[in-house]
């Protein structure tokens, strides 16, 4: 599928509706250029961070739980 994107006067990239529908407004992207080719790659945070966010505010994580989370994140980055 080849579609046209448009750079607006406000320097935002307007994606075609079919492509934009695949993303959420809060999605973030890494952007880089190679020659005249522009690349966009969506960044998805590791789901392990969800564990930290959902932890009860009244109960701090144990050192073992923190250690497990760190190991999971490192394994995902290495893999």
Domain of residue 27 covers 6-43
What is the predicted pLDDT for the residue at 73?
A: 75
d(CA 45, CA 7): 27
Per the model's pLDDT, the better-predicted residue between 72 and 7 turns out to be 7
| 39 shares its domain with 54 | no
| 35 shares its domain with 64 | no
Residues 6-50: tens digit of each pLDDT: 999 999 999 999 999 999 888 889 999 999 999 999 987 656 666
| 59 shares its domain with 30 | no
pTM of this prediction? 0.51
| 31 shares its domain with 54 | no
The answer as to whether 39 is a domain residue is yes
| 39 shares its domain with 52 | no
What is the predicted pLDDT for the residue at 45?
A: 67
| 34 shares its domain with 13 | yes
Q: Would you say 7 and 13 are in contact if contact means Cβ atoms under 8 Å apart?
A: yes
What total number of domains does the chain contain? 2
């Amino acid at each position: 599928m080849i579609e046209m994107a448009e750079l607006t006067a406000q320097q935002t990239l307007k994606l075609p509706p079919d492509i934009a529908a695949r993303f959420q407004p809060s999605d973030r992207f890494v952007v880089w250029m190679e020659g005249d080719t522009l690349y966009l790659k969506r960044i998805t945070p590791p789901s392990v961070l969800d564990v930290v966010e959902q932890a009860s505010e009244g109960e701090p994580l144990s050192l073992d739980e923190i250690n497990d989370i760190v190991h999971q994140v490192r394994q995902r980055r290495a893999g």
